[in-house]
Amino acid sequence: MKGTWSLSAFLAVFGALLIVSDVHAIGWVAQTSGLPAFTSLNDVQIHGSTVYAVGESGTILKTTDEGQSWISKADPDVSSMLHAIDTYGSNIWVVGYNVRMKSTNGGDSWDVATGAGPFFSTNYDVDFVNSSTGWRVGSSLGIGFISKSTDGGSSWTSQTIPDGTPSLRDIHCVNTSTCWAVGDEGTILKTSNGGSTWTAQTSGTTNLLYDVYFNFAGTMGWVVGGDGVIRRTTNGTTWANPIVGGGVLPGTPHLTDIDFVGDSTGWVVGAEPAAIFKTVDGGVNWVSEIPGTPWDLIAVDFSTTITGWAVGGNGVIRRYDATPPSAPGGLTKTSLDSDNTPMFTWTASTDNTGVVRYEYSIDDEPWIDVGLSLTATVGPALEDGAAHFIVVRAIDGGGNISANATTGFVVDTTLPTTPTGVVRTSPSTDTTPTFTWTPSTDNIAMGEYRANILSGGGGLIGIAEESTGLVASYTLSDATPLAPGTYTFWVWAWDAAGNRSDDPGYLLFMVDAPAPGDVVPPTAPGALTRTSLDSDNTPTFSWIASTDNVAVTNYEVQVDGGAFMSNGLLLAYTSGALIDGSHIVGVRARDAAGNSSGTSSLSFSISTGVVPPAVEPPTPPGLLPAGFLIGDRVKLADDGNPLTFGDTAVFYLGADGGRYVFTNDKSYRTWYANFNGVKTISVVDIASIPLRGNVTYRPGVKMVKLQTSPTVYAVVRGGVLRAVPSEAVATALYGATWNSQIDDVNDAFWTNYTIGIPLTGYADDYNPGAESTATPTINIDKGL
């Protein structure tokens, strides 16, 4: 394999090095040999999972980790130029200038024979067909020789070749009988009797031939040499230029080595200039592969179509790499939608030779290199109020590109409008006053209102800011009544992107002392009952009258944590239209002095079968298979048995391009009333959508418990569970029938949830209806 390149070629390459940088090649990855400068490597041999390389100054290198590290296996007493290496079983043979070497322990020790051949001889190649029989070829004072060993290289016998045969550079044997040797002046010799006789064949060129390779059957072979010469035989006897039209390879480099995997796929390397070419049609057509080095390439070896190495001048080692990295995982936006230079993170890709950089593109703009960072901050600022998408990919040292990781997002820097029209709707003597306001608007979507009560001068009085969700009303908790005095009510609007209104809506108000002589509140209304069906979305309620030491003057009704509305002295109430899901109604009584009773509460459910429209984000191109959108529910095709249709797994398509499975019918029906609108998807399409996880219960609809534990939990956004501390709290949240609104969760699915802090009571920090309303889609629940 492999002659050594000339000094003139070395100097030419060194000159080129001054102006040509060593870059990574497409398909070829640079590896570090650790050799002194200008030390050439002349041959490379793959032996199972081990690779060897030999070269100048007695160099012998070995790697067992695919070239991540190369260690020296040189014999300290050998400093000659080494030209070739061959392996068989546990045997390794190396030959070079006036030396031949053998190891049987992976190169840990060597048997060395110097003066190994005719006078001033150079052994250019060695080839063993089994552990005993092999040949070596070379030159002595410009005259070629062939020697054969039948004892594993311990002894050698010279063979007779035609008179005047010039230097021989390479030999390839397919069995113990048949070999070809090539060399200077276009020489090709063949033996069919184990070397007893060698016969010259016509190569059709007088150029130096550096290498010969045959398939295992010995029916197809190639030789390469100077000035881009390639010859092929399909019968082992006659040779012809296989290149289409009888041409030569671009740049006409000197071709120094050739190797094939099968009869079709092969590579050739060369020098002046450095070159690598690949063929997939037996050598008729060749495609250049950028070697990524100005230094001459001298040898190449492949064990499979994706496993190969090339070596050459200045200690160059290149590994072939046609395997792309895995796609970056977990692509996530870590900044708020209000950030117009958003930040993203992802998890590292894996690759057989190592990722060298990541790139991202926003909205099909040019790719931006972020090196090995797993984060990207987008800039310049993106368009406000628009949907965008980001694509991230990994690239390895061979230039192979991973599949894309993609996610869509929006940028919203526009503030919501300030809440206006703030009014108090409860009496001036009410120590837990109620306020309403005109809803704010936003260019994309509102998020919530946050309300607080301050002193008349705007100072804090120990009442925490509280979210009312998207409900434009607020009632101070019974747990923190106000003393008579002057106060300021504040309410801020926040949109879904996290932008806060410029100013709060506010109202200066007073709490008056109750009328003298009557400080006794009425009793709470009794037996609060719903008198309509679950399917009625305008439910009706009734209750038993309160009593008072003077007289009840008014009943007030509250639905889903909204404002208390006056109901006069009527003992029945009809609600406005409500969406499907869990809700809560409260009723309290007032007397003429403004004293308020405690609130009687009842939890109930609406189930009309009508699914309200939910706003899903736009679907970026390529995120999902054609015909499918973010928010779609999909299942595989029906098997034709109507009894099993409902048992077919249903998946939700998330904004992260993944699919989430509904674990059972009960959890599904907290999100959807029926299976209308579920799309059928093919096996191929569903396999292209990664499975991200399971769908958890919709917040506020049901309570849940582990099958093996009595603790009952309320569900909040993101699958967070908050323990319900008592039956009294459960009754306040879900009414007298609370124990019929608990679902058991199988132990296997409990890991889908996380445990949060326990509830302290409905009025303080949890409203089932508000939780459900604030989580209209699974994307919102999972924060996608």
Query: What would the mean pLDDT of 134-156 be, rounded to a whole number?
Result: 95
* DSSP letter string, 368-419: EE-TT-SEEE--SPPPTTEEEEEEEEEEETT--BPPPEEEEEEE--PPPPPP
Residues linked to residue 451 through DSSP beta bridges, in sequence order: 466, 491
- Please report the beta strands in 192-288, taking only residues with DSSP state E, as ranges in sequence order: 199-201, 209-214, 221-225, 230-233, 254-261, 265-271, 275-279, 287-288
647: pLDDT strictly greater than 70: no
| C-beta separation of 488 from 461 below 8 A | no
pLDDT band at 730 (very low <50, low <70, confident <90, very high): confident
Q: In angstroms, rounded to a whole number, what is the distance separating the alpha carbons of residues 660 and 416?
A: 32
131-145, 245-259, 555-569 — most confident range: 131-145
pLDDT of 359 reads: 97
- Give yes or no for a contact between 408 and 617, defined as CB atoms under 8 angstroms apart: yes
Do 636 and 686 contact (CB within 8 A), yes or no? yes
Q: What is the pLDDT of residue 291?
A: 76
User: How many other C-beta atoms can be found within 10 angstroms of the C-beta atom of residue 755?
Assistant: 12
Ordered by where they begin, the domains of the chain are 7-320 (2.130.10.10), 329-411 (2.60.40.10), 420-511 (2.60.40.10), 526-606 (2.60.40.10), 698-784 (3.30.2390)
Q: What is the pLDDT, as a whole number, of residue 244?
A: 75
| CA–CA dist 529, 545 (Å, integer) | 13
- pLDDT value at residue 613: 52
Are 274 and 289 in contact, with CB atoms under 8 Å apart? Answer: no
pLDDT tens readout for residues 319-331: 998 889 999 999 9
For 536-570, the pLDDT digits (tens) are 888 999 999 999 998 999 999 988 877 788 899 99
Whole-number pLDDT of residue 747 = 77
Side-chain-side CA neighbours of residue 392 (13 Å): 30
For residue 499, pLDDT over 50 is answered with: yes
In this predicted model, which residue has the larger pLDDT, 12 or 141?
141
- The answer to whether residue 14 scores a pLDDT higher than 50 is no
What percent of the chain shows pLDDT beyond 70?
Answer: 92
Cβ atoms of 524 and 588 within 8 Å: the answer is: yes
* Least confident residue range of 67-81, 588-602, 744-758: 744-758
Query: From CA 695, how far away is CA 382, in angstroms rounded?
Result: 32
382-407: pLDDT as tens digits: 888 778 999 999 999 888 899 999 99
Predicted pLDDT of residue 640: 66
Q: Is the peptide bond before 273 cis (omega within 30 degrees of 0)?
A: yes
Measured distance CA(703)–CA(740) in Å, rounded: 9
| pLDDT of 246 higher than 80 | no
Question: Does residue 37 register a pLDDT over 60?
Answer: yes
- The answer for residues whose C-beta is within 8 angstroms of residue 38's C-beta and 6 or more apart is 10, 14, 313, 314
Q: Is the pLDDT reported for residue 20 higher than 50? A: no
719 has a pLDDT exceeding 60: yes
Q: Which range scores top for mean pLDDT: 95-109, 403-417, 670-684?
A: 95-109
For 466, other C-beta atoms within 10 Å of its C-beta total: 16
**Quick check: 185 pLDDT over 90?**
yes
Residues 6+ apart with CB under 8 A from 378: 341, 342, 343, 344, 362, 390
| Predicted pLDDT of residue 515 | 66
CA end-to-end distance (rounded Å), the chain:
58
Q: What is the pLDDT of residue 26?
A: 54
Nearest to 316 by CA among 42, 16, 124: 42
CA angle 664, 669, 673 (to 5 degrees): 140
10 Å CB burial of residue 638 (0-12, 13-18, 19+) is exposed
Residues above pLDDT 90, as percent of the chain? 56
